[in-house]
Amino acid sequence: MSKNVLVLADVRDGELRNVSLESLAAATRVADGGAVTAAVFGSKAKDVVEELSHHGADKVVLVLDEKLDQYTTDAYFQAFKQVIEHVEPDVIFTGHTAIGRDVSPRVAARLGCGLVSDCTDVEVDDSQIVFTRPIYAGKAFVKKAFREGTVFATLRPNNIPALEADTSRSAVVEELEVQFAEDLLRTVVKDVVRKASEGVDLSEARVIVSGGRGVKSADGFKPLQELADVLGGAVGASRGACDAEYCDYALQIGQTGKVVTPDLYIACGISGAIQHLAGMSNSKVIVAINKDPEANIFSVADYGIVGDLFEVVPMLTEEFKKVLV
Ligand code: FAD
């Protein structure tokens, strides 16, 4: 049975995040002939219309209001709710990003709809939409099926491949004016100060080179950054490294940090505590470098290198440079 599906596009610094394209791919899977609509917020929303239509959007709803240029819970809540009331979708996707995780549950609760968070897969089986999500810190997966009613889902980045761009597609574009209850806009963003370094976004990176307490100092992260740069990836960290002030908490991966699913995760000097594994064990290929052959990180690694990371990491960088640079 065909479904109307809405995707809330996540735009950061004028760039569409990959997870929005992945959400469009998920939307196309479940639409089954229904319309796939993308909603984009902010005064520069028009800039991403083409990319959205090339990746599966049949219609793009633009809310070109300056109040939506920076994310605030109150403004996005009001705008998203009104877009949903206008589009009347059966299924609503957002990325499992800071924005999606904040706004989706609020609007779902207000509209009395169901929500499945942190989905890693979605399929249609016998007219039911079946969402897959990890449970028990990634040790098992549960499938949730919906036959009727409106449902929200947040999608974990890097799990559903985006569709190949089809440049012949062009979406119908609609500008929607939303009404803001000014007394409910309680937050004003005056400035955005970035803590983490610029570069590849950790939660969407295809390659992550991660350091633990074994890195020993802030300077010890330099060889990891060099390897990440050669591989076009991002640097992450264990909480051990963050607690020791070798790096910023924005890099922390794990149960109380970011959950990542890159194609390649290189763990350097990380013991493999269960709380760290909760954030990275679903990575497609895991390489562990640790001088302790008994380290628990080897239990989830596809490739293990027993050795000193300060010798191994520069060697890897040199070898990758030969083939990649
Ligand atoms: P260690 O456990 O100290 O491991 C360092 C490793 O480096 C060792 O295995 C050692 O053999 C190796 N090593 C040392 N020198 C070298 C070298 N030169 N070359 C190669 N290897 C070397 N942790 C997280 O990561 N993320 C979380 O989100 C998180 N959330 C938590 C939530 C709670 C409620 C609690 C209680 C804990 C949480 N932790 C989390 C902490 C977690 O339990 C571990 O303490 C932490 O992951 C350990 O970090 P580490 O592996 O870097 O340090």
The bridge status of strand 207-211 relative to strand 234-237 is parallel
Q: What pLDDT shows up at residue 200?
A: 77
CA-closest residue to ligand 1 atom 9:
271
- Residue 274 in marked binding region: yes
Cβ of residue 55 lying under 6 Å from some atom of ligand 1: no
**Residue 308 near ligand 1, beta carbon < 6 Å:** yes
Looking at per-residue pLDDT, the higher value among 137 and 16 belongs to 16
Give the pLDDT band of residue 192 (cuts 50, 70, 90). confident
Residue-level pLDDT at 14? 84
Q: Is the minimum distance from the CB of 273 to ligand 1 under 6 angstroms?
A: yes
Q: pLDDT above 90 covers what percent of the chain?
A: 88
| Residue 50, Ramachandran bin (φ over 0: left; ψ between -120 and 50: alpha; else beta) | alpha
Using a 6 Å cutoff on CB, does residue 178 contact ligand 1?
Answer: no
Lowest-pLDDT range of 197-201, 235-239, 272-276: 197-201
User: 301: which strand partners?
Assistant: none
Q: Is the CB of 257 under 6 A from ligand 1?
A: yes
Mutate to test the pocket of ligand 1, among 203, 208, 216, 238 (most ligand atoms within 8 A of CB): 238
Give the strand pairing for 151-155 and 91-95: parallel
Query: What's the rounded Cα separation, in Å, for the pair 127 and 229?
Result: 45
DSSP state of 267: E
pLDDT at 197: 60
Give this prediction's pTM. Answer: 0.85
Beta-bridged to residue 60, according to DSSP, are 38, 173
pLDDT, position 198: 63
Give Cα separations from 273 to 48, 212, 216, 263, 281 (angstroms): 41, 11, 17, 21, 11
- DSSP codes of every residue in 19-39: HHHHHHHHHHHHHTTS-EEEE
Strand 5-8 with 207-211, pairing: unpaired
Any residues with CB less than 8 A from the CB of 72 and at least 6 apart, and which?
185, 187, 188, 189
275 is in an annotated binding site: yes
* Residue 256 annotated as part of some ligand binding site: yes
Nearest to 102 by CA among 68, 66, 77, 69: 77
Gap from CA of 249 to ligand 1 centroid (Å): 14
CA-CA distances (angstroms) from residue 180 to 186, 218, 274, 295? Answer: 11, 45, 44, 54
Cβ atoms of 293 and 306 within 8 Å: the answer is yes
Measured from the CB, is residue 291 less than 6 Å from ligand 1?
yes
Atom 49 (ligand 1): residue with closest C-alpha? 240
Task: Please give the distance, rounded to the nearest whole angstrom, from the Cα atom of residue 271 to the centre of ligand 1.
Answer: 5
Q: What is the mean pLDDT of residues 196-210?
A: 83
Give pLDDT tens digits for 127-171: 899 999 999 878 899 999 987 789 999 999 999 999 999 999 999
81-85 mean pLDDT: 98
Percent of the chain with pLDDT over 70: 98
Q: Is the CB of 56 under 6 A from ligand 1?
A: no
Could you tell me the pLDDT band of residue 12, with boundaries at 50, 70 and 90? confident
Q: Is the CB of 113 under 6 A from ligand 1?
A: no
- Answer for the pair 266, 209: CB distance below 8 angstroms, yes or no: yes
Query: What are the tokens at 4?
Result: 């109307």
Task: Please indicate whether residue 173, judged by its CB atom, sits closer than 6 Å to ligand 1.
Answer: no
Tell me which of 325 and 216 has the higher pLDDT: 216
Q: Which residues, other chains included, contact 144 with Cβ-Cβ below 8 Å and sequence gap of 6+?
A: 116, 130, 131, 133
Is residue 305 over pLDDT 60?
A: yes
The β-bridge partners of 154 are 94
- The tokens for 275 are 């709380």
Which among 49, 43, 57, 64 has a CA at the least distance from the CA of 16?
49
Residue 101: what pLDDT? Answer: 96
- State the distance from the centre of ligand 1 to the C-alpha of 139, rounded, in angstroms: 19
Q: Of all protein residues, whose CA lies closest to atom 2 belonging to ligand 1?
A: 271
For the chain, where are the E strands, in sequence order?
A: 5-8, 11-12, 15-16, 36-41, 59-63, 91-95, 114-119, 121-125, 128-135, 140-146, 151-155, 172-175, 207-211, 234-237, 264-268, 285-290, 303-306
Q: What sign does the dihedral 218-222-223-227 (CA atoms) show?
A: positive
For 157-217, give the secondary structure using H, E and C.
CCCCCCCCCCCCCCCEEEECCCCCCHHHCCCCCCCCCCCCCCCCCHHHCCEEEEECHHHCC
- Contact in structure between 99 and 71 (CB atoms under 8 Å): yes
* Beta carbon of 282 within 6 Å of any ligand 1 atom: no
User: Averaged over 108-119, what is the pLDDT?
Assistant: 96
Residue to mutate, 203, 208, 275, ligand 1, most ligand atoms under 8 Å from C-beta = 275
* Number of DSSP helices (H) and strands (E) in the chain, helices first: 8, 17
Range 59-71 average pLDDT: 96
